[in-house]
């Protein structure tokens, strides 16, 4: 494959990326702006474009280019950058080639409709409304696993799409270690005599919350000239390229922290996407290596930074200025304890740092059994409620607060949930490395200065795209492989002090 051939391969690949960006625009608009009656036709539009995208990716002409590039890769004749591009495209191409066009279109159309139905079912607290769509999605994802192939569990084939190289067996080992630490640690917190005072008083006008959320996002580094913040049922981030990255949040006029945490979380994702060099768009060099690494960025900003005492020493006076009557009697210590209060809850997105991973472990167990066929979709509410009782000791009053709370399954994102917990582990390890490398990092955060931390993340994570595997990236940045002990030490140190044991 000569230089002209590799350039032709990259040109056609860029066309595929541009088409994918157009599909992403339709998805974003569906979740943010689309009127209710547009659902059916939008689903068909997305399905058709997704089919065209898939068809172009596995077309005979592009297939020839990919196979020729793979020969060059195997012969060791490519630069590091081109080798990365070919390696990752070959991996994706090999997977896509196994999925028939009709399957791709059916899955796309089913999930497009199901996402809107899920939102309605959640609003109406009616799992039965969503049930037939979820049954079809689970069936299609089982079929996908069979088409793609796997060694041990069909779940591995789905997990690999989000966390390449990771297996269900590895996840079970990691989660077992986490569970063994978290359960007794949570029990100690529940025995503590420290009580967190409810500092919320009155209503918080949404328009002022929007202003405050935008100010926080911009302060930590979100570029509003390359993105925007909107409202959706479930907060999310979507990117078309580094110059157009969009985040959403949701608001409650009774609780400003309902939006603040989500905004910081999604800003973390967006900072990753905005930090990828624009010239790398159109190839794997412009993609994040895994969702676990991506999640490490959102969880670091939301929790390790956004729930820290130093962060609120800077932002609390500004929050107080935005809502003077609501926080007239609140002190800094009250805010810090409030944003870090540990209380077993029903909702994953509102969970504290101590219990959050238990939400993920529970979901992993459920969806793995769903795909392996050991539980039925019809039984999900009962199974869900039972596990919530087992893990958190609380009863689920309705399905809207239970099995219907997450958007992921409606979008066919089975295998996604474990990346949230992996992100927590990565985040603690990355942050410790950043503290070693950035002089006076926490002093800077206390002063509202986040540029050095963001620059460290850009240098060590964002700019590399898929040049390195997740395993290589964490080792390059921190000096050692993924080690859950960093996260457990962080949790133990922080919350032992807060809860006085």
pLDDT 10s digits, 240-292: 999 999 999 999 999 999 999 999 999 999 999 999 999 999 999 999 999 99
Q: For residue 229, what are the β-bridge partners?
A: 247
Average pLDDT over residues 166-175: 95
Residue 157: which of 94, 106, 238, 115 has the closest Cα? 94
Clarify whether 92 is annotated catalytic: no
Q: What is the DSSP letter of 301?
A: I
CA distance 301 to 261: 9
User: Which strands form 227-231's sheet, in the order they lie side by side?
Assistant: 227-231, 244-249, 237-241
What pLDDT score was predicted for residue 176? 93
**pLDDT, mean over the chain:** 95
CA distance 236 to 228: 12
At a CB cut-off of 8 Å and minimum separation 6, what does 446 contact? 310, 311, 313, 314
User: Considering the chain, what percentage of its residues have pLDDT values greater than 70?
Assistant: 99
User: Considering the chain, what percentage of its residues have pLDDT values greater than 90?
Assistant: 91
Find the catalytic residue in 88, 144, 266, 295: 266
Q: What is the DSSP letter of 389?
A: H
Residue 323: which of 217, 198, 215, 208 has the closest Cα? 208
């Amino acid at each position: 494959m000569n230089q002209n051939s590799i350039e032709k391969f990259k040109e056609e690949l860029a066309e595929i990326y541009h088409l994918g960006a157009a599909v992403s625009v339709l998805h974003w608009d569906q979740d943010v702006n689309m009127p209710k009656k547009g659902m059916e036709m939008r689903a068909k539009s997305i399905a058709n474009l997704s089919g065209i995208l898939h068809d172009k990716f596995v077309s005979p002409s592009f297939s020839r280019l990919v196979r020729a590039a793979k020969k060059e890769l195997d012969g060791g004749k490519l630069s590091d950058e081109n080798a990365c591009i070919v390696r990752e495209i070959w991996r994706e191409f090999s997977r896509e080639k196994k999925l028939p066009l009709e399957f791709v279109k059916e899955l796309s159309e089913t999930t497009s409709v199901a996402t809107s139905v899920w939102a309605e079912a959640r609003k109406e607290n009616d799992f039965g409304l969503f049930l037939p769509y979820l049954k079809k999605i689970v069936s299609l994802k089982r079929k996908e696993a069979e088409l793609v192939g796997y060694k041990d569990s069909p779940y591995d084939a789905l997990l690999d799409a989000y966390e390449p190289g990771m297996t269900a067996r590895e996840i079970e080992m990691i989660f077992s270690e986490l569970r063994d630490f978290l359960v007794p640690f949570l029990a100690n917190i529940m025995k503590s005599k420290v009580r967190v005072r409810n500092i919320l008083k009155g209503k918080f006008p949404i328009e002022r919350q929007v202003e405050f959320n935008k100010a926080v996002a911009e302060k930590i580094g979100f570029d509003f000239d390359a993105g925007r913040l909107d409202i959706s049922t479930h907060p999310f981030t979507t990117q078309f390229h580094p110059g157009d990255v969009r985040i959403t949040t949701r608001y409650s006029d009774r609780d400003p922290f309902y939006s603040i945490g989500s905004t910081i979380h999604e800003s973390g994702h967006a900072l990753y996407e905005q930090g990828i060099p624009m010239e790398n768009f159109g190839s794997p060099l412009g993609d994040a290596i895994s969702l676990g690494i991506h999640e490490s960025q959102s969880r670091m900003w939301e929790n390790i930074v956004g729930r820290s005492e130093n962060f609120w020493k800077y932002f609390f006076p500004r929050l107080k200025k935005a809502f003077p009557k609501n926080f007239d009697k609140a002190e800094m210590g009250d805010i810090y304890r409030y944003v870090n209060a540990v209380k077993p809850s029903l909702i994953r997105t509102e969970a504290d740092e101590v219990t959050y991973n238990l939400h993920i472990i529970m979901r992993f167990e459920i969806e793995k059994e769903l795909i392996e066929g050991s539980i039925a979709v019809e039984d999900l509410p009962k199974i869900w409620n039972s596990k919530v009782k087992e893990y958190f000791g609380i009863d689920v009053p309705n399905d809207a607060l239970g099995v219907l709370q997450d958007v992921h399954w409606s979008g066919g994102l089975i295998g996604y949930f474990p990346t949230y917990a992996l992100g927590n582990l990565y985040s603690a390890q990355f942050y410790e490395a950043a503290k070693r490398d950035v002089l006076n990092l926490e002093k800077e955060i206390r002063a509202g200065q986040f540029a050095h931390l963001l620059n460290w993340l850009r240098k060590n994570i964002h700019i590399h795209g898929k040049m390195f595997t997740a395993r290589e990236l964490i080792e390059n940045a921190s000096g050692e492989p993924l080690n859950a002990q960093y996260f457990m030490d962080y949790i133990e140190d922080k919350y032992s002090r807060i809860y006085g044991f």
